[in-house]
Amino acid sequence: MKKTLFLFIGYCLLLTGCMATHTENNPAGQGSRQPVLRVGISADARPMAFHDRGRIAGLEADFAKGLAEYTHRRLVFVELPWSRQIPALLAGKTDIIMSAMTITRARDYQISFSKPYMVTGQIALVRLRDVSKFGDGLTDLLSPVIKVGTVDATTGDLLILRNKAKGAVLHFKDADHGVQALFDRTIDAFVYDLPMNFYLGAKYADKGLVPVTVPLSREYLAWGVRKDDQKLIHAANAYLKNLHDSGKLQQMIIHWIPFYQSVYNSR
């Protein structure tokens, strides 16, 4: 645990994004002859996508920049709340969702997914003094004496609901509210995506929060495209294959999530 905590404390984010940003109600692409790649993104999930000095940065931002270059398009980020990602894509307001989206059966009915670029899962963020209570993973979280927090409408939220937690379950609109609930002792554990909870563990290590390094699920992250846009899905898969074959894919992931290889070593 000490070694893992040391890695968290030493973890930092260096790169920044560098492309135009718009909102759902202020779409881009007008007045330029170069084709536009409109990337739907929710920039509230470090280290995958976040704001840094007025720009969007993170692993997904780097992927988006690379895909735009690969397809010879001008990159435009369309910032959206998470709940609006799929509706905006289906309405033609974006071309692709690149925002740490997990492949699920329900989403697969609505949109097409690229090949997965990363194996991930849900983990719990807890107070350091309580970490010994959660060594058995999901079983411990479902205990009637444990109060669990999740971000509403995420795969972590679905995981806890599907497994019928016996204790109180609180739903938050974002991770910041989940972290505050841990500080306030309103909840005992905050269940969220692995990359984000490891980042939060690094950020708040000096305040007594730590991720439990026992994955609660095994999930796959991919990019979402409209089912009728086969040209873009093929291009995204070809770009991803190039990254994988060159070894750059793993390098990019480990740059932003240094602990990734040791947690999901089977990849």
Rounded average pLDDT per 10-residue block, the chain, 267 residues: 42 40 57 86 92 96 98 97 95 97 94 95 96 92 96 91 95 93 98 92 93 91 97 98 96 85 52
Topology match between the domains 12-119+221-263 and 122-212: yes
- Smallest CA-to-CA distance from 250 within 119, 61, 103, 97 is with 119
The secondary structure of residue 168, as a DSSP letter, is -
Look at residue 44 in the predicted model and tell me its pLDDT: 87
The secondary structure of residue 47, as a DSSP letter, is T
Look at residue 153 in the predicted model and tell me its pLDDT: 84
Two tokens, residue 1: 């645990």
- Kind and range of the H or E element at 123? strand 122-127
For 166, other C-beta atoms within 10 Å of its C-beta total: 12
Instruction: Report the relative pairing of strands 169-172 and 55-57 from DSSP bridges.
Output: unpaired
Domain boundaries, the chain: 12-119+221-263, 122-212
Indicate the fold that domain 122-212 takes in CATH: D-Maltodextrin-Binding Protein; domain 2 (3.40.190)
DSSP of 117-183: -EEE-EEEEEEGGGGGGGTTTHHHHTSTT--EEEETTSHHHHHHHHTT-SS-EEEESSHHHHHHHHH
- Smallest CA-to-CA distance from 121 within 147, 135, 142, 100 is with 100
Which option is the CATH number for 12-119+221-263: 3.40.640.10, 3.40.190.10, 3.20.20.140, 3.40.50.2300? 3.40.190.10
HSE at residue 254, side-chain half, CA atoms within 13 A, is 11
